[in-house]
Amino acid sequence: MLAAWPVAAAPRVFSLDQCADQYVLALSPREAIVGLSTRADDADSRLREQARGLPLRRTTLESVLAARPDVVVRHWGGDEKLLAALRRRGIAVVEAPEATSFDDVRLSLREIGAALGQPARAEALVREMDDRLARAGGAWGGARALYLTPGGATAGKGTLIGAMLEAAGLKPAASRPGYSTVSLEALVMRPPAAVVLGFFDTFMLANANWGPGRHQALRRTVKDRTIASLPGEVIGCPGWFVAEAAETLAARAPK
């Protein structure tokens, strides 16, 4: 449960997108939050419970200015024209870039925490994340794992998903860095020891029309080797809570 902090001197903050929402909800005093994205209380929003009762606003210049924020936080929301207009008006814009490692998450926590006057809370979340990564402890010992989404996408090195797998001791089965489409031939020739599903909680499994998932070889691989199905709220944004997924995967390692 998030602690409460005094609102005195806390900057008024507006969040431009669902991933920025998570940082704002975790770091800012509730009374200082003058706007969240319209997706802040969606089912795949990690801190959706904390978002309830707070103003959800559209990502437009008029909407942001009407809320009179001191600081705007964004990950992917808004465009450069909007951000430039806010800066010209003296509003600080803090960005959480796409994280490819847990070091990137630490940096985002510290930068946003500093901008919101909450460095201590940011450090507490860094410690929480690091404790989870330590408990994951490379439990799988280097076993190959295929990360798979309903659309047939996978992740390799150079992604936060890849870092999550490695923290649990799993080697991404994807041969290429970054995100790519699953290779059916590679799966048939060299099936991974484990499969990690992502975002299947937000997908209707009764609908079979999901890319490579229609292929029987892939379905058999998924059925026999799945070790965890990770919900979108845990892996959908580059936040400290992705470490929870690493801890979950580690707990499924053979004893």
Fold for 138-251, please state it: Rossmann fold (3.40.50)
Q: Do the two domains 13-133 and 138-251 of this chain adopt the same fold?
A: yes
- Report the distance separating Cα 185 and Cα 189, nearest Å: 6
Per-residue pLDDT at 7 = 46
Give the β-pairing of 179-181 and 153-155: antiparallel
Q: Is the pLDDT of residue 205 over 80?
A: no
Quick one: fold of 13-133? Rossmann fold (3.40.50)
Tell me what the mean pLDDT of segment 48-76 comes to: 96
Domain regions of the chain by residue span: 13-133, 138-251
> CB atoms < 10 A from the CB of 69, how many?
22
- Of residues 254 and 202, the one with the higher pLDDT is 254
208 pLDDT band (50/70/90 cuts)?
very low
Evaluate whether 136 touches 168 at the Cβ level (below 8 Å).
yes
Q: pTM of the prediction?
A: 0.89
